[in-house]
């Protein structure tokens, strides 16, 4: 994907939401109807992910691999906390920041480019969220070690992951490299996390809103027709097939830094 692609994707999402929201505005916590989210799993899952931890205005949350910032904006709007999200490139951070600016959340949400080593001090954050990001990272284990480092003692990690079934031979998803749940929990323990709680959310992961489902279908059609954005369409279609066939499962993991 070319460097301009994140900006073009953000513009496509913004334009579509403006068009479909002319009669009925999008929900405040999901100003872009969750269309930033590649897999299409429903944002209602995030309510359960927020079960552990106290979120207030003075709490600082890091969303690791925030992409265009959909979950970061949900966190800030729904729970009132300050969120810093990491993006895969300068272009992605800029595109997500523009979406954030358009909905008036720049005081609460900041997106910064960061990939391997995070540009934050030890213990900087009270919470770390990772929403379906680890399979897209070159080194998920290193990312968990960095998450542990920047999380303050007693702080909470909330992870939503797309994982392979235990007996799966693997699945081809382009740049995505999913792992089994057992591999993820081992990596969490190796990184130092404790009090790990796991829940499989696959059965309830599908988007519940007919409006959002229709908007996602419209966006996908638009992406297919754009030579620069076709890669995003292929990624979304591959994830949808893997989830529908059971080749991927949706799990949530809560943990704590001792």
CATH number of the CATH domain containing 217: 3.40.50.150
Q: Tell me if 124 sits within 8 A of 210, measured CB to CB.
A: no
Q: What confidence score (pLDDT) does residue 198 get?
A: 96
Q: Is the dihedral of CA 97, 98, 102, 107 positive or negative?
A: positive
Nearest to 106 by CA among 130, 131, 85, 132: 85
Q: What confidence score (pLDDT) does residue 44 get?
A: 93
What DSSP state is assigned to residue 105?
Answer: -
Token match 């990624």: residue?
A: 235
Q: Tell me if 103 sits within 8 A of 18, measured CB to CB.
A: no
pLDDT > 60? residue 110: yes
Q: What confidence score (pLDDT) does residue 205 get?
A: 96
- What is the mean pLDDT of the segment spanning 73-93? 94
The pTM of this model reads 0.94
Q: CA-CA distance, 258 to 255, in Å (whole number)? A: 9
Confidence class for position 255, pLDDT limits 50, 70, 90:
very high
Q: What confidence score (pLDDT) does residue 1 get?
A: 40
Structural domains of the chain, count? 1
How far out from the chain centre does Cα 54 lie? Answer: 20
Supply 89's token pair. 């490139």
For the chain, the distance separating the N- and C-terminal CA atoms, rounded to the nearest angstrom, is 40
- What is the mean pLDDT of the segment spanning 188-216? 96
122-172 per-position pLDDT tens digit = 999 999 999 999 999 889 999 999 999 999 999 999 999 999 998 766 677
pLDDT > 60? residue 58: no
Which residues form the domain of 188?
A: 5-256
pLDDT > 90? residue 75: yes
Q: What confidence score (pLDDT) does residue 203 get?
A: 96
Nearest to 190 by CA among 145, 128, 155: 145
pLDDT > 60? residue 96: yes
Q: CA-CA distance, 158 to 72, in Å (whole number)? A: 13
- What is the mean pLDDT of the segment spanning 181-200? 96
Question: What is the bridge-based pairing of β-strands 109-113 and 125-131?
Answer: unpaired
Helix (H) or strand (E) holding 62: strand 60-63
Range of weakest confidence among 84-88, 92-96, 134-138, 253-257: 134-138
How far out from the chain centre does Cα 18 lie? Answer: 22
- Mean pLDDT, the chain, rounded, equals 92
How far out from the chain centre does Cα 147 lie? Answer: 15
Q: Tell me if 69 sits within 8 A of 107, measured CB to CB.
A: no
The burial class, CB within 10 Å (0-12 / 13-18 / 19+), for 128 is buried
Q: What confidence score (pLDDT) does residue 2 get?
A: 43
Q: CA-CA distance, 12 to 243, in Å (whole number)? A: 24
pLDDT > 70? residue 225: yes
Q: What confidence score (pLDDT) does residue 55 get?
A: 58
Supply 216's token pair. 């996602």
Beta bridge partners of 86: 112
């Amino acid at each position: 994907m070319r460097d301009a692609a994140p900006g073009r994707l953000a513009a496509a999402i913004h334009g579509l939401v403006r068009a479909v929201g002319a009669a009925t505005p999008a929900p405040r916590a999901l100003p872009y109807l969750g269309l930033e989210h590649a897999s299409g799993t429903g944002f209602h899952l995030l309510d359960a992910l927020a079960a552990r931890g106290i979120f207030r205005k003075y709490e600082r949350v890091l969303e690791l691999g925030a992409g265009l910032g959909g979950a970061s904006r949900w966190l800030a709007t729904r729970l009132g906390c300050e969120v810093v999200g990491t993006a895969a490139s300068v272009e992605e951070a800029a595109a997500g920041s523009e979406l954030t600016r358009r909905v008036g959340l720049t005081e609460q949400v900041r997106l910064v480019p960061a990939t391997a080593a995070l540009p934050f001090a030890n213990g900087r954050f009270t919470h770390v969220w990772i929403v379906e990001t680890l399979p897209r990272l070159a080194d998920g284990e290193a990312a968990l070690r960095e998450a542990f480092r920047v999380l303050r003692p007693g702080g909470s990690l909330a992870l939503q992951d797309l994982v392979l079934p235990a007996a799966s031979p693997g699945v081809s998803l382009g740049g995505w490299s999913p792992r089994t749940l057992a591999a993820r929990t081992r990596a969490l323990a190796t990184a130092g996390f404790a009090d790990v709680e796991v829940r499989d959310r696959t059965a309830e992961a599908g988007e519940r809103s007919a409006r959002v489902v229709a908007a996602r279908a419209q966006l996908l059609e638009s992406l297919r027709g754009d030579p620069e954005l076709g890669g995003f369409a292929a990624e979304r279609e591959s994830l949808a097939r893997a989830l529908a066939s059971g080749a991927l499962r949706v799990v949530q993991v809560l943990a704590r830094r001792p």
